[in-house]
């Protein structure tokens, strides 16, 4: 019996040692799994879809230099305003690959309601929230072109930045840093444009379509005529006659067409009144570059200086 006892104790000690070693191995394996999960979390990709050009440019600035965050434009960069737009298969593919969609709101993207209604996991940021909207003519609802007021554009950028920081907390600090940096650039632009335009005596303008009420409000301009109520739809003979009468009676020297649309109607008015046709950009198309909004606004400023001097 005495000879068997040490052998029994040795077997017990050996078993405990094996269990202990197995336990260490399990702990190491568990730690490795936690580490791998953390790395996956840190390296996950996020795709942010934007409804059209100005939303793309704003979001490009807010998400600047954030690793694994990809910003795409849902519509093609030359689409223009979305008044009569219909979703294409390419748009759907872009949208299906995104976790977040950033829209202008104010009715601009109403054509997408049925599509997004079928995507419950898609997070939607409506950037015009909190902005006082200007009523459109007749039964058109609110005018959605808020980004053409630099003040309202700043609000949109802040909304985009705040919402992205909330939805993607891992990158929250970087979103906020980028948002503030871009807002500061927009504030400099706003100051520069006000310093130039606030002293101009001729404040009556005729625009191509109803894209510029927020722009006019920002710079205290008065839109006394609109050449085409519906872009791409020629004005009626009565509408054309009324606009010609306004241009003559108010002695307006400048008509503003848009680079996205033909200028035939504007040329007809110019021929009858002696006014000159200039180009004012509603910033719905352009280069896919972060500083594009600022450059296009600066180009509008040069145009207005010449036209309203």
pLDDT digits (tens, 9 = 90+) for 93-148: 889 899 999 999 999 998 888 888 889 999 999 999 999 999 987 667 899 999 99
Q: 207 pLDDT exceeds 60?
A: yes
How far is Cα 215 from Cα 208, in angstroms, rounded to an integer?
Answer: 13
To the nearest whole number, what is the mean pLDDT of the chain? 84
Q: 8-22, 46-60, 253-267: which has the minimum mean pLDDT?
A: 8-22
Q: Give Cβ neighbours of residue 309 (< 8 Å, ≥ 6 apart).
A: 200, 202
Q: Which ranges constitute the DSSP H helices of 168-263?
A: 172-197, 213-218, 237-249
Q: How confident is the model at residue 285 (pLDDT cuts 50, 70, 90)?
A: very high
Mean pLDDT of 278-293: 95
Q: How confident is the model at residue 231 (pLDDT cuts 50, 70, 90)?
A: low
Q: 6 pLDDT exceeds 50?
A: no
pTM score, whole prediction:
0.82
Q: How confident is the model at residue 84 (pLDDT cuts 50, 70, 90)?
A: low
- CATH label of the domain that carries residue 215: 3.40.50.1980
Q: How confident is the model at residue 27 (pLDDT cuts 50, 70, 90)?
A: very low
pLDDT in tens, 171-183: 999 999 999 999 9
Q: 219 pLDDT exceeds 60?
A: yes
Indicate if 256 and 284 belong to the same structural domain: yes
Question: Is residue 40 included in any domain, yes or no?
Answer: no
Cα 20 from chain centroid?
58
User: Could you tell me the CA-to-CA distances from 37 to 32, 42, 206, 300 in Å, in that order?
Assistant: 9, 9, 60, 50
How far is Cα 162 from Cα 251, in angstroms, rounded to an integer?
Answer: 46
Give the H/E segment covering residue 262: none
Indicate if 205 and 304 belong to the same structural domain: yes
How far is Cα 102 from Cα 46, in angstroms, rounded to an integer?
Answer: 13
The count of domains in the chain is: 2
| Residue-number span of the structural domain to which 282 is assigned | 199-308
Sign of the four-CA dihedral 66, 56, 130, 295: positive
Mean pLDDT of 157-171: 98
Question: Is residue 24 included in any domain, yes or no?
Answer: no
- Say what the alpha-carbon torsion angle 269, 270, 276, 279 is, to the nearest 10 degrees: 40
Closest CA to 283 of 273, 271, 270, 292: 292
Question: Is residue 174 included in any domain, yes or no?
Answer: yes
pLDDT of residue 106: 94
Closest CA to 217 of 289, 283, 155, 150: 150
Indicate if 203 and 260 belong to the same structural domain: yes
Q: 69 pLDDT exceeds 90?
A: yes
Indicate if 238 and 148 belong to the same structural domain: no
Question: Is residue 91 included in any domain, yes or no?
Answer: yes
């Amino acid at each position: 019996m005495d000879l068997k006892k040490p052998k029994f104790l040795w077997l017990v000690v050996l078993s405990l040692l094996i269990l202990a070693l197995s336990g260490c191995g399990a702990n190491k394996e568990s730690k490795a799994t936690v580490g791998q999960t953390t790395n996956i979390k840190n390296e996950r990709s996020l795709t942010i879809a934007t409804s059209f050009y100005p939303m793309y440019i704003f979001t490009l600035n807010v998400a600047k230099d954030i690793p694994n965050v990809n910003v795409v434009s849902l519509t093609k960069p030359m689409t223009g305003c979305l008044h009569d737009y219909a979703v294409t298969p390419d748009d759907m593919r872009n949208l299906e690959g995104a976790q977040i969609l950033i829209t202008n709101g104010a009715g601009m993207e109403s054509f997408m309601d049925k599509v997004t209604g079928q995507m419950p996991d898609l997070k939607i940021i409506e950037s015009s929230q909190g902005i006082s909207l200007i009523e459109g003519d007749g039964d058109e609802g609110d005018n959605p072109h808020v980004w053409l007021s630099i003040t309202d554009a700043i609000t949109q950028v802040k909304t985009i930045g705040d919402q992205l920081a909330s939805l993607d907390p891992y990158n929250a600090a970087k979103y906020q840093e980028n948002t503030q940096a871009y807002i500061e650039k927009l504030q400099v632009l706003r100051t520069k444009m006000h310093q130039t335009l606030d002293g101009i005596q001729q404040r009556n303008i005729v625009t191509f379509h109803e894209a510029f009420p927020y722009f006019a409000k920002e710079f205290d301009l008065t839109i006394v005529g609109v050449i085409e109520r519906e872009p791409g739809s020629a004005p009626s003979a009565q509408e054309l006659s009324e606009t010609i009468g306004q241009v003559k009676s108010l002695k307006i020297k400048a008509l503003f067409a848009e680079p996205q649309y033909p200028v035939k109607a504007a040329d007809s008015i110019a021929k009858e009144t002696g006014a000159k046709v200039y180009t004012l950009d509603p910033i719905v198309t352009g280069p896919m570059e972060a500083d594009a909004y600022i450059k296009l606004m600066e180009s509008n400023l040069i145009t207005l200086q010449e036209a309203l001097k």
